[in-house]
Structure 1
Amino acid sequence: MSERDARRAKLAALRKAGVDPYPPRVGPREAIAAVRERFAERDAAALAADPPRAAIAGRVIALRSFGKLVFLLENGERLQISARKSELPPELFEFVKRLDVGDFVRVEGPVWRTQSGELTVDVREAQLLAKGLAPLPEKWHGLSDVEARFRSRHLDLLVNEDARRIAIQRSRVVGAMRASLDERGFLEVETPVLQPLYGGAAARPFTTLVVGGLDRVYEIGRVFRNEGVSRKHNPEFTMMECYQAYADYRDMMALAQALVQEIAARVLGTTRVEYAGHALELAGEWRRVTLRDAIADATGIDVLSHADLGALRDAARARGIDPGDAPSWGRLVDDLFSAHVEPSLIQPTFVTDYPVELSPLAKRSPTDPRLVERFEPFLAGMEIGNAFSELNDPDDQRERLLASRRAFEAGDEEAHPLDEDYLRALEIGLPPTGGLGMGVDRLAMILCGAPNLREVIMFPHMRPSAEDAAEEEGA
């Protein structure tokens, strides 16, 4: 008889005996963590002199000594229970012996310590809460098929302690981010997920709120992009966006730095983070470097001195760099940065002052009209955000969106579309405003020490399984 069949037979026997294997109510109980805390200072002698009682509930995760010792797990905390034949009615002792790993049970009885000091509840009452019909995998955490882990998150969380740790820490990252923004007077808002236009339309709801007098707003929400899956990318991810009136990109730089530092301190208790073999120090002032200087230092190419696509391609080839097939000068600048600079930005760094072609929604630099007041924060070789002084000149914005539309028609699929509603909002009047976007998943990935983005997304995008593909083909 297979293990599944054996469990089914036990289920049938329980029902035949009048026992509901899935009762609607749970008796009084105390959290396992609370029981451990309550008796942490009481040794075996103190417990034996005046045996207290405790009632706990959880999932059976291990059985020892032919069912005489059972280990329960509840909310990540374990506690041992014992069943001593000489002190139990035969039917209760038999009930405990017939438990399977994976069952949920509530037990009550006196608390004692074993010779090794293990805190234990001695069973006097027991109630089956849910019968597990499928066995748990024994070595799931050692499984080499990562895809299988993500497809069965319930099993991954059950037996992989690291998966559980990451899930909890990611939640705390979001909570800490929200707390830091709330403390600064930001108002959390909800904006439409579905937008009539991509690109610039994403900023439109926030801009209208600032135009309407809500000076500090933010949202932590889901974002969707038509892009492939990689260590740093997932088509569905979480983004924090915030906008602050009477601020510029320097103010948003200070905010981004403070947010990351505060989140690390709240979640980890330190601003020193170990990631991928690097010791990241988040405290103090972060390094700042212009995009122009960063590319020049890495490649020897001064992108602003080669101001059109042909000249920049020639400069790249002269340095032994394949310029690829970038459709525009701005896109080639971005490609050079992504390939030759970004991977080396391990310690926290702000890359500033981007070409206007790359940032159609940002305000021009007052010192160089070729540039805009924009920055991106980098950490562990990854971009974790994007920010700029919002462009509030409606005429300048229209000209840039028209140029961006021409770039789109020329083949640049990432160019921003013309958004008349956005332009009308600017004409009402937008005060000087700073905007910041931060990738929650990437930040959580670094702070949690996760090797890839899918570890910190509870249900990452998955390719269809072989079974799903077969069913679809046969449908």
Structure 2
Amino acid sequence: MTASATSPFWHPERHADRRPALLARARIDAATRHWLAERDFLVIDPPALQRSPGNETHLHAFGTSMIGNDGRGQDMYLHTSPEFTMKKLLAAGEKCIASLQHVWRNRERSALHHPEFTMLEFYRADEPYEAVIADSLALIRLAAEITGIENFHFRGRECDPRAETERISVAEAFMAHAGIDLLASMDDNGVPDGEALAAQMQAAGMAVPEDRSWSYLFTQILVDRVEPQLGNGRVTVLDRYPACEAALARRVPGDRRVAERFEIYAAGVELANGFGELTDAAEQRQRFEAEMAEKQRLYGERYPIDEDFLAALAFMPEASGVALGFDRLVMLATGAQRIEAVLWAPVAE
């Protein structure tokens, strides 16, 4: 019997086809852990079960019930990121920590998405977010070095991971690729105006959807006009997101409209998302509540706020952090075109 793309992952012939990429994954994993150890990162093992899976509008969790000795069930969630636990450890006094482990996100399955995937997340206390940007770029180059690939390829796009990196702000990217003055659609405090953004879209000849919330329009422009232009030929760092699109990032000094959030793209694939971390508990609560109100409006559900996390922020030092999609990096470093090709055992559909 000959294996095909529809054969189960355990079929010997299909596994033989997939094995080279999986062995490359193992080598990249080992090299990444060695790289972290050489730079004094302490690799930790956060628990996956959490009272709150995160409080961002478009992140969806897997829920469960934890039954204690008294027989009562407590709602729990598989984390969408180890972020809350890791920041609590920064508050406890750790300075340089990393996690390379599975996380879970519901409502996500595509060539680049899988409900259970591996995330490399790491933090540096008392360091600016330029430090973790540099770390992320070094790890991307390391993966290419391990496999010996010259260029990343994905869906007709190509990127040289060794070329000089492009760095562009979100506002600059919107103007360059969509003709939109993004900062003109919010006030000096960063409060967005959906109608102002919709008017600019109409003037630029774009279709304006019925939902004119600023966040929805922002995402539509980003996905349709901006992201296709990122990471082509060289890696792109998309920097300084609007504060209202950066729930866990501190604002840029001198401009409350934007925050210290960045994303990294290669060959059109988003690889990393990082922040200069917000440590103001009052502002963080306000942002979480706004995110959950929008989640309720769009999806009819909300997640609890982790009060323990907010309390820990009073002890947390200034820090920077980043989450990097490890499976996506392995995809690019091996030339794979679907995430399942680099997973040892994909979740059954």
Aligned to 1:356: 243
Percent identity, aligned pairs only, is 31
Aligned to 1:188: 43
Aligned to 1:309: 194
Pairwise CA distance, 1:199:
1.7
Aligned to 2:139: 259
Structure 1 residue identity aligned to 2:50: Q
| Partners of 1:404 and 1:417 within 8 A in 2 | no
Structure 1 residue runs of 4+, over 6 Å off?
Answer: 412-416
Structure 2 CA distance, aligned partners of 1:245 and 1:297? 34
Q: Which of these two proteins has the greater Rg computed from alpha carbons?
A: 1
* 2:185 matches 1:289: no
Cα deviation 1:286-340 (Å, max 9, x = unaligned): 1101111112211111122123112222322332323335573123212211221
Pairwise CA distance, 1:151:
4.3
Of 214, 220, 236, 1:335 maps to 220
2:261 is paired with a residue whose SS is strand
1:147 is paired with a residue whose SS is coil
After TM superposition, the structure 1 = structure 2 runs for residues 361-376 of structure 1, keeping only pairs within 5 Å, are 361-376=248-263
Q: TM-score, normalised by structure 2?
A: 0.83
Structure 1 residues not aligned, in runs of 5+? 1-136, 464-475
After TM superposition, the structure 1 = structure 2 runs for residues 47-66 of structure 1, keeping only pairs within 5 Å, are none
Of 179, 190, 196, 2:34 maps to 179
* 2:308 matches 1:421: yes
Cα deviation 1:423-464 (Å, max 9, x = unaligned): 10012x21110111000111000000011111111222332x
Pairwise CA distance, 1:242:
0.5
Pairwise CA distance, 1:384:
0.5
* 2:116 matches 1:236: yes
* 2:151 matches 1:273: yes
| Partners of 2:163 and 2:235 within 8 A in 1 | no
Of 312, 321, 324, 1:438 maps to 324
Structure 1 CA distance, aligned partners of 2:228 and 2:267? 8
Structure 2 CA distance, aligned partners of 1:192 and 1:413? 27
* 2:257 matches 1:382: no
Structure 2 residue identity aligned to 1:375: F
Pairwise CA distance, 1:372:
0.5
Structure 2 CA distance, aligned partners of 1:415 and 1:339? 28
RMSD (Å), alpha carbons: 2.2
> Cα distance 1:411–1:262, how it changes in 2: closer, same or farther (>3 A)?
same
Aligned to 1:157: 15
> Cα distance 1:274–1:406, how it changes in 2: closer, same or farther (>3 A)?
closer
Structure 2 CA distance, aligned partners of 1:440 and 1:414? 29
> Cα distance 1:303–1:447, how it changes in 2: closer, same or farther (>3 A)?
same
* 2:343 matches 1:457: yes
1:229 is paired with a residue whose SS is coil
Structure 1 CA distance, aligned partners of 2:235 and 2:302? 28
Aligned to 1:147: 6
- The worse-fitting range, judged by mean Cα deviation, of 229-238 and 193-202 is 193-202
1:227 is paired with a residue whose SS is coil
> Cα distance 1:408–1:327, how it changes in 2: closer, same or farther (>3 A)?
farther
Structure 1 residue identity aligned to 2:248: L
Structure 2 CA distance, aligned partners of 1:392 and 1:226? 28
| Partners of 2:52 and 2:303 within 8 A in 1 | no
Q: How many residues align?
A: 315
* 2:92 matches 1:222: no
Pairwise CA distance, 1:228:
3.6
1:157 is paired with a residue whose SS is helix
* 2:177 matches 1:322: no
Aligned to 2:93: 213
1:250 is paired with a residue whose SS is helix
* 2:302 matches 1:447: no
Pairwise CA distance, 1:397:
1.8
| Partners of 1:331 and 1:358 within 8 A in 2 | no
| Partners of 2:152 and 2:267 within 8 A in 1 | no
Structure 2 residues not aligned, in runs of 5+? 56-78, 187-192
Structure 2 CA distance, aligned partners of 1:412 and 1:296? 31
Pairwise CA distance, 1:379:
0.5
> Cα distance 1:185–1:344, how it changes in 2: closer, same or farther (>3 A)?
same
| Partners of 2:120 and 2:326 within 8 A in 1 | yes
Structure 2 residue identity aligned to 1:343: P
Q: TM-score, normalised by structure 1?
A: 0.62
1:289 is paired with a residue whose SS is strand
Structure 2 residue identity aligned to 1:340: R
